[in-house]
Amino acid sequence: MFGIPGKQAVTMTSRAAAQIARLMDQAGHAGLRIGVKKGGCAGMEYTMEYVETADPNDEVVEQDGARIMIAPMAQMFLFGTEIDYEVSLLEAGFKFNNPNVAEACGCGESIKFKDSPDTAAVED
């Protein structure tokens, strides 16, 4: 929908692709849908959910056995994002390196986008 021919909407590091593929295999899901919704102290939050089938309007990105579906309303906010998977002593989780983010809250769970269009159209 918002893609550039020959360029994927989002990319994954090898760590993220391996973790997503592992989660898909363990639970037997078709992929992981990512999106954004209103919430958090900075105004928007990322969402992730297992899915069994892609919505016809989803942007599907596949890499190294991992499959991500990008929800239609999130495509403009996530274009150019690199998804990583980080492990530290206290936590492990996905990290979104998104060039469209203007601000993030201290906890890193909430974001605000640069020059974003009216986010009233973004739904849960």
pLDDT, tens only, 61-119: 999 999 999 988 888 888 888 999 999 898 899 988 888 777 666 665 666 666 655 44
- Alpha-carbon distance 37 to 25, whole Å? 27
**Within 10 Å of residue 33's Cβ, how many Cβ atoms?**
21
3-state helix, strand, coil in the chain (%, to 5): 20, 40, 40
Instruction: Please list the alpha-helical segments (H only) found in the chain.
Output: 14-27, 75-78
Residue type, 11: T
pLDDT tens for residues 51-75? 998 899 999 999 999 999 998 888 8
Domain definitions of the chain by residue range: 10-116
10-116 folds as Hypothetical Protein Aq_1857; Chain: A; (2.60.300)
